[in-house]
Amino acid sequence: MSDDPRIPDGLKYDGSGLIPAVIQDADNGDVLMVGYMNRDAVQRTLETGRVTFWSRKRQEYWVKGETSGNVQELVEMRVDCDLDCLLILAKQTGPACHEGYRSCFFRRVEGDRTEVIGDRLMTPDQMYRKG
């Protein structure tokens, strides 16, 4: 049992202390992205209402939209039957994907190739104010 009432009991983190989080649009059910959270990122998300991840590459916390302005506001957090994966229902502002698409799942697999099926909403330069 957790000693912090804000953290769901029994979550199963992997050997690196992470749990995958599938982010779903609370309005239309579209899957927007997948990220990873550690215990503190789960707590920060629940406390602030802003979806927060642990960056495996940079080894630091990141709040979705902190740089781009394309924030994810927590609507509901769910956990799967094995307690080892989270489903985050969120209100998404702008693109969820760092490449400027609404969803990170903008490519469909067709045999041995992929096909872009999403519309780019902005370029990365526009999102990150580089241009």
Task: Please list the rounded mean pLDDT of every run of 10 residues in the chain (131 residues).
Answer: 62 96 97 96 96 92 90 96 96 95 97 96 85 48
pLDDT of 81 reads 93
What is the Cα–Cα distance from 109 to 114, expressed in whole angstroms?
A: 4
Beta bridge partners of 50: 73
pLDDT of 130 reads 59
Burial degree of 60 (CB within 10 A; 0-12, 13-18, 19+): exposed
The CA-atom distances, in angstroms, between 86 and each of 38, 49, 53, 111, 116 are 11, 15, 12, 30, 27
79-100 burial code (b ≥16 CB/10 A, e <16) = beeeeebbebbbebebbbbeeb
What is the Cα–Cα distance from 76 to 49, expressed in whole angstroms?
A: 9
Instruction: Classify 129 as helix, strand or coil.
Output: coil
pLDDT of 1 reads 43
Structural domains present in the chain: 19-94 (3.10.20.810)
pLDDT of 3 reads 56
